[in-house]
Amino acid sequence: MRMQTIQTQAFLDQKPGTSGLRKKVKVFQQPHYLENFVQSIFDTLTIAADATLTLGGDGRFYNKTAIQLIIKMAAANGFVKVIVGQGGILSTPAASHVIRHYQTFGGIILSASHNPAGPTEDFGIKYNTANGGPAPEKITEAIFAKSKTITQYKIADFDDIDLNVIGETQLDGFSVQVINAVSDYADLMAQLFDFSTIKSLLQSGFSLKFDAMHAVTGPYAKEILVNRLGAPAASLMNCEVSETFGGGHPDPNLTYAHELVDVLYQPDNKTQSAPDFGAASDGDGDRNMILGKAFFVTPSDSLAIIAANAQLIPAYKQGLAGVARSMPTSGAVDRVAEKLNIPCYETPTGWKFFGNLMDAHKVTLCGEESFGTGSNHVREKDGLWAVLCWLNIIAIKKTSVEALVKAHWAEYGRNVYSRHDYEAIPTDAANDVMAHIKSQFLTFPEQVFGRYSVNTCDDFSYTDPIDGSISTGQGVRILFKCGSRIVFRLSGTGTEGATLRIYLEAYEPDIANHHLDAQVALAEMIQIALDISQLKQCTSRELPTVIT
């Protein structure tokens, strides 16, 4: 096995975002571009003498090429072993489990999550540490700093590894182990949930439809929902992994998961023929959407309902240490935590902020409004885990999705919530919107907008209670005296232009109003947000790209 040192020149645009480095495939295909970033990761780490690297991705275009390259670079940079999912496939939560289960040094995950895939679309790469979670900011900042000064990278010269055959390949003291990561992950889920009770539910006439959106969770859904829980094969849709995700946008929301939505939202005279339960997961398997018959569950409500019913699930029957949510996520789970008398933490957006809390045993469940929920079984959000939470709860309570949600609202009140995304707008225009909002900070307090009176406003910052690290500039908040709020934030997950997100929340304790559509209930607040931000004037956008 011959080792090579290749001279290179730095790229200045390799700054990781919320979930690693994401660019168009053509950017990653530039000579030395991927190699530079991988070497910057390795140069930032102190690699132990017996270190094993976990490696895999969501199956999108360029994954196979990148995996072979990273294996060879790992061999040249001191790793003694690389563990790869069969076919190079690893969902993000499964990768976190592999890191933890096999106690590897860390892992490289190749994914751009819910972004489109294909030769002209998106690719991504991120590093996860030994706890299975995304690298904290101090590591990603060090990687970026190294990427701006790198002059060479190291790579071994050997034939590509056959990733389709489970087993181990030995190469002069270095090895590559291809594992059945689907089975490993399914075994973990069987330890957490009451599979026998869920199986009985699915055999009782209860029907479901799961949409993998042509992405990574297809094989996992087949193994768990069909092979182990006995759901009919027809319960699954779009479960063959495609390098282009079937040409779709693998984001499990009402806009992009329209095939599933069409199945659950039948015409009024056919609603009863719709499945009892619907769910979708995204490109790399860490997000989820939950539906009932013509009924959408917001991710914020999903987190709160899972927390309120967690003791029905075997893994959490002893109770929860605490819960955490990202700042833009609604306060619905806060009300559950108060009743359970457990801590509730508010963090910036990004799963890495939950890792310290989990490792310190401060929280058991956590979630984000961006369709991500999870627990301390791994250090990533987990789409199929969330689906199984709902099925386990429904199987025991013997109720429908809609009835379960409305019963929760009746007990806790409803945090009426919506997110409006304006995608791929010019970065300068997005920055102008944020600057315009911040310029009004001194005059906002005590201002009255319709029936809403401003209490305060800020740009959210966070001090990690475990390591003391500080994160600033995490989103602009307009907080009203009634407890309602508007949040403006630029997303860090896109690869083209900027995505500006507006989060709207109003607490409604009156059960008589719980039936209202969120857009109707929030109509006045939506107009206030547009007036405050001057979004239409700054961006020329009349409507959001996505509403959830």
Helix or strand (DSSP H, E) at 231: none
Cα 478 from Cα 448, distance rounded (Å): 12
Query: Does the annotation count 330 as an active-site position?
Result: no
Using alpha carbons, select from 161, 153, 159 the residue that is nearest to residue 35: 153
Burial state string for 365-401 with b = 16 or more CB within 10 A and e = fewer than 16: bbbbbbbbbbbbbbbbbbbbbbbbbbbbbbbeeeebb
Amino acid identity for residue 475 in this structure: G
The answer to whether 113 touches 253, Cβ cutoff 8 Å, is: no
Q: What would the two tokens of residue 185 be? A: 């992950």
Question: Facing residues of 250 across strands?
Answer: none
Amino acid at 515: H
Count, residues in the chain: 548
- What sign does the CA torsion over 142, 143, 144, 149 have? positive
Counting runs of H as helices and runs of E as strands, what totals does the chain give? 18, 27
Question: Which one from 113, 147, 300, 418 is the annotated catalytic residue?
Answer: 113
Q: How would you write 141-190 as a 3-class SS string? A: HHHHHHHCCCCEEEEEECCCCCCCCCEEEEECCEEEEEECHHHHHHHHHH
310 DSSP 8-state letter: G
Buried b (16+ CB within 10 A) or exposed e, 407-445: ebbeebbbbbbbbbbbbebeeebbebbbebbeeeeeebe
Residues annotated as catalytic are: 113
